[in-house]
Structure 1
Amino acid sequence: MVDVGQHTLVPEHTIVEDDAEIDEVLAEYDVRRTDLPKIKRTDPALPDDAAAGDVIRIVRDSRTTDQAVVYRLVVE
């Protein structure tokens, strides 16, 4: 069985543990946690310990900015 999360084309997915970082992101975009784009708990790229309600930081390679950081809310 292939671990999709370890594939070279899958961007890094990490759980944001720091509430201050989450609050900063939400304030920057003037949104609530529930307004963040969603990602299903069953997504194979998520860390195994991700739970519904967690915020995930996804770091993607970008041609224009070197790296692009996006945030997703884990849902069932």
Structure 2
Amino acid sequence: MVDVSEHELVPEHNVLDDDAVEDVLDEYDIKRTDLPKIKRTDAAVPTEAEVGDVVEIVRDSRTTDRAVVYRLVVE
């Protein structure tokens, strides 16, 4: 079976630790539930991610070199 997360077109996905999540939430003055969602079954989500975790997605960008977005893992 092919590991989709290793494909060159899939951006880097990292599970954030609790301290990093708090930093992100404080920076944007939001609650965890205000984050956009990503399903736990999404092939790009790291295998260690659990429902309720926050995933950092780092994409290449033509204008900013790299774009960082955050998603809340849901069922």
TM-score (norm 1): 0.93
Matched length = 75
Matched, 1:8 2:11: no
Q: How does 1:1-76 map to 2 (within 5 A)?
A: 1-17=1-17, 19-76=18-75
CA distance in 2, matches of 1:71, 1:6: 19
What are structure 2's unaligned runs of at least 5 residues? none
CA distance in 1, matches of 2:53, 2:7: 23
Deviation of 1:20 after TM superposition, in Å, equals 2.3
Q: Which 4+ runs in 1 deviate beyond 6 A?
A: none
What are structure 1's unaligned runs of at least 5 residues? none
CA distance in 2, matches of 1:46, 1:70: 14
Two-structure CA RMSD over aligned residues (Å):
0.8
TM-score (norm 2): 0.94
Please give the per-residue CA displacement for 1:22-56, whole angstroms capped at 9, x wherever unaligned: 11211121110010000000000011111000000
